[in-house]
Amino acid sequence: MKANLIILILLLVAVAGAIVVMAVQLSAPSVPDEDSSKQVSDQLPAAPGGQPTVEDAGGNTGGGTPSESDGASEPTEENGDEQPEPPESADNGEGVEEPVAETPLDRFLKRFHEHQGKIKWMRADLTMTRFGIFSDPVDTDEQKKKAGRTSTGEFLYKPGNRFVFTMKYEPKGESDKKESERYLAYMHVLWIIKTTSPGKSGTGDTVKAERWLIDNEKMSEILMVLHGAVPGELKKIFEMRLVELGDSAEAARLKREGHDVDDLRARDVYLLELIYKNKVKRGNYKHIEVVINRDMEVEKVKLYNAFNDDETIIWFENIEINEGEEIPDSEFRFNPAKEGVEKFDDNATLEGAADILWRMRRTSEWVKGIEAKFERDKYDATWAGSGEAHSKSAGTLNFMRPDKFRLEVTKPEEQIIAGNGEKAYTYRKDLARAKLYDVKSAQKKLPVGDLRIMQKFFGQSSGDLSEQFEFVPQGVDKIDGVECYHLTLKPLPAAAGGKMSHNVDHIELWVELETFLARNIRIYDLQRKDNYNEVTLSDINIWKEIPKEKFDPVFPDGVEIIEE
C-alpha cells in the first residue's frame, strides 16, 4: 500500500508538471506591434468566445466530447529528427489527391511548436489543489482551492526534461504537520525530497529522499509528448479540441466543472482539451484541460481522475521566460548535503532493453550538440607483451545532430578530423595540409576507425539501434565515479534486419544513469575477437550551443588542400 501511494503521488505531481510545461514551454510571450498583430490574427483561429464552432483534431464541428478514434497519421523521422506532419490529402473525385486545409487547431498547435524553441529557462509561482471525494462540496475552482488540499510553491524549468517542483502544504489545524515536497528532475532521473515538521508536541524535521526513473509507461508517454513533441505526436495520443466558450451547452458543462466561464469569455482565452485515445494507457486521468491566454501563457491546468471525481487544479502566476539570470543545472540535480539527506530509497529500476532504447532515443531528441574530452585506445592483441599493443590518442570532440562532427586530436600528434554533413576533412597544422572527402566515402578513409559507429552512439540519434543490434543489459557499473548502465550489443544478422557493414563481433556500451548518454564504448573486432577500439568521454557538456561554422572546412592561407 505504501509503495502504491508513493507511485500515485509521483505520477500525480510529475504529470501535472509535464502538462504545464507543454503549454508554457511552447509559449514565448510577446507584445506584438500593429503588423505582427495582423499576422497573428491571420494564423490563429477566431477568439473562442466568438462564433459557436468547435473543431477537434479531425476537423469535426459541433459540441460535446470528441470521439476516441485512432485516425491521426504517424510522424516521420529522418536521422532521428522528428518532422512535422505534411498536410493530409483527400481524393478530389478524379483520382487526384489534394491537400486538406489546415484546421484552427492545426494552426494553434503549430504556434505552440514554433514557440517551444524560444524557451531557454522559465520560472513561475504556482498553486496546486487536489480536490476530491473527501473535500467539502463547493461550486467553483476558486472555492476548491480553499476546500481541497492546497499547496503553494515554485516551478523552475529548462528544456531537456529539467525541472524543479517545490510545494509547501500549510497545516489547517494546530495538530497538523507542516509538510513540503521537492521534485528534482534531470532528464531521466526524478528525486523526491519530503520534509515533515511535527506539530507543537514534536521536535525536529524528518527528511526522506527517493530516487526514481521516470519510467512508468503511462507517465513516460505523457512526458514524451508534452516535453517537445511535434503536433503530429500530440494527435497520435490525444483527441484534442479548442473548446468553444460561446456554445451554451459547453458553457453549462464548464460551469458545472467549476470554471468561471464569464471571466474566460471576457479575457478572450483558449481552452484546450486533451482526451486520451487509448484508455488502457491513459494512466490516472481521463482528460485534461488547459487554459491559455492570447499571449500563449498558461493560466490553469485541470486534470480529471479516470476512476473517481477527484481533480487536480494548477494555477500559474508571475511567469518569467528567459528573464533574469539563467537557471544553473545544479538547481535540478540532487545534492545530499544541500537537502540534508544521508541515505535514500532507490527505486531507479529499468524495464529491460526496450526501456534503455526508449531513453536513449529521448536523449538524442533533447540533446542537439555534445562537447567533451575523449580518450581512445586501440588494442591489437598481436603485439601483446611488446609494449606496442595499445595505440592511444586524446583530444576534444564536438557532435551536432544529425551529422556534424569535429575531433581535435592533441595526442600523439595534433590534427583535426571533422565533417559538416556534406564534406569531411582532415587537417594537419604541422604539415600545412588538408584532405577533403565526400562524406559517403569518409568512413573508410578518415584515420579514426569506426567513426560511423562512434557518431551513432556519441552524436546521432539512437532511434534505429534496435534494427542494428540485440541489446543485453549487464547491470550498473561506475565510470570515473559516474553511475552507468552496462550493455552488450550484438549485431543482428542481415536476415533479421541488421545493416552494419563493419567487422564487429560485439560492442560493450556504458550509458549514464541520469542522461542515458554514451560515456564509454568498446568495439570488438569480428576476426580477432581480442582486438578492440575503445573511446571514453569526460567533461561532457550536452547543452552548449555549437556554431555550425565550427564544422566547415575552413583553413588558413597557404594550406595545401587535397581532394580525395
Residues 339, 393: one domain? no
Domains: count for the chain: 2
Note whether residue 431 is domain-resident: no
- CA-to-CA distance for 503 and 470, rounded, in angstroms? 16
Instruction: Tell me what pLDDT residue 491 has.
Output: 87
Q: Which range scores top for mean pLDDT: 64-68, 303-307, 462-466, 552-556?
A: 552-556
Residues 217, 292: one domain? yes
Residues 407, 376: one domain? yes
Instruction: Tell me what pLDDT residue 64 has.
Output: 38
pLDDT tens profile 460-515: 445 567 777 888 889 889 988 899 999 998 888 764 555 554 678 999 999 998 99
Read off the pLDDT band of 452 (50, 70, 90).
low
pLDDT tens profile 370-379: 899 989 898 9
Q: Between these two residues, 100 and 96, which has the higher pLDDT value?
A: 100
Q: What is the mean pLDDT of residues 35-47?
A: 35
Residue 13 has pLDDT above 50, yes or no: no
Residues 99, 171: one domain? yes
- CA-to-CA distance for 18 and 38, rounded, in angstroms? 32
Note whether residue 41 is domain-resident: no
Residue 434 has pLDDT above 90, yes or no: yes
Q: Between these two residues, 47 and 389, which has the higher pLDDT value?
A: 389
- CA-to-CA distance for 141 and 352, rounded, in angstroms? 42
Tell me how crowded residue 304 is: count the other CB atoms within 10 A of its CB: 17
CA distances (Å), origin 528, targets 40, 131, 380, 382: 63, 65, 9, 9
Q: Domain of 126?
A: 2-31+52-346
- CA-to-CA distance for 99 and 87, rounded, in angstroms? 6
- Computed over every residue of the chain, the mean pLDDT equals 74
What secondary structure, in 3-state letters, does 264-296 show?
HHHCCCEEEEEEECCHHHCCCEEEEEEEECCCC
Instruction: Tell me what pLDDT residue 176 has.
Output: 63
The closest alpha carbon to 401, from 368, 360, 434, 355, belongs to 368
- Using DSSP's 3-state secondary structure scheme, residue 220 falls into helix
Residues 331, 374: one domain? no
The H or E element that residue 211 is part of is strand 206-213
Which residues contact residue 440 at a Cβ distance below 8 angstroms, ignoring those fewer than 6 apart?
none
Pick the last residue of a domain from 326, 346, 366: 346
Q: Between these two residues, 361 and 532, which has the higher pLDDT value?
A: 532
Residues 105, 223: one domain? yes
Residues 341, 359: one domain? no
C-alpha cell at 463: 532511434
Chain centroid to CA 166: 20
Chain centroid to CA 413: 39
Read off the pLDDT band of 410 (50, 70, 90).
very high
Instruction: Tell me what pLDDT residue 99 has.
Output: 63
Residue 433 has pLDDT above 90, yes or no: yes
Residues linked to residue 192 through DSSP beta bridges, in sequence order: 183, 210
Residues 300, 405: one domain? no
Pick the last residue of a domain from 304, 325, 346: 346
Read off the pLDDT band of 57 (50, 70, 90).
very low
The rounded percent of the chain whose pLDDT value lies above 90 is 11
- CA-to-CA distance for 524 and 517, rounded, in angstroms? 20
- CA-to-CA distance for 370 and 544, rounded, in angstroms? 7
Least trusted range by pLDDT, from 194-203, 262-271, 536-545: 194-203
Q: What is the mean pLDDT of residues 91-102?
A: 62
Pick the last residue of a domain from 322, 346, 370: 346
Note whether residue 47 is domain-resident: no
The CATH number linked to 476 is 2.50.20.10
What is the pTM for the complete model shown? 0.70
Residues 258, 371: one domain? no
Note whether residue 563 is domain-resident: no
Read off the pLDDT band of 47 (50, 70, 90).
very low
Instruction: Tell me what pLDDT residue 453 has.
Output: 54
Instruction: Tell me what pLDDT residue 7 has.
Output: 31
Note whether residue 488 is domain-resident: yes
Which residues contact residue 208 at a Cβ distance below 8 angstroms, ignoring those fewer than 6 apart?
193, 194, 341, 344, 345
Q: Between these two residues, 439 and 550, which has the higher pLDDT value?
A: 550
Least trusted range by pLDDT, from 13-27, 155-169, 458-472, 533-547: 13-27
Contact 381, 533 (CB under 8 A): no
Note whether residue 42 is domain-resident: no
Residue 170 has pLDDT above 60, yes or no: yes
Note whether residue 318 is domain-resident: yes
- Using DSSP's 3-state secondary structure scheme, residue 94 falls into coil
Note whether residue 430 is domain-resident: no
Residues 492, 361: one domain? yes
Read off the pLDDT band of 199 (50, 70, 90).
low
Contacts 24+ apart (CB under 8 A), 504-509: 504/453, 505/529, 507/453, 507/469, 509/457
Residues 186, 319: one domain? yes
Residues 155, 264: one domain? yes
pLDDT tens profile 229-288: 556 667 777 888 888 888 888 889 888 888 888 888 888 888 988 888 876 656 677 888
Report the relative pairing of strands 345-347 and 238-242 from DSSP bridges. Answer: unpaired
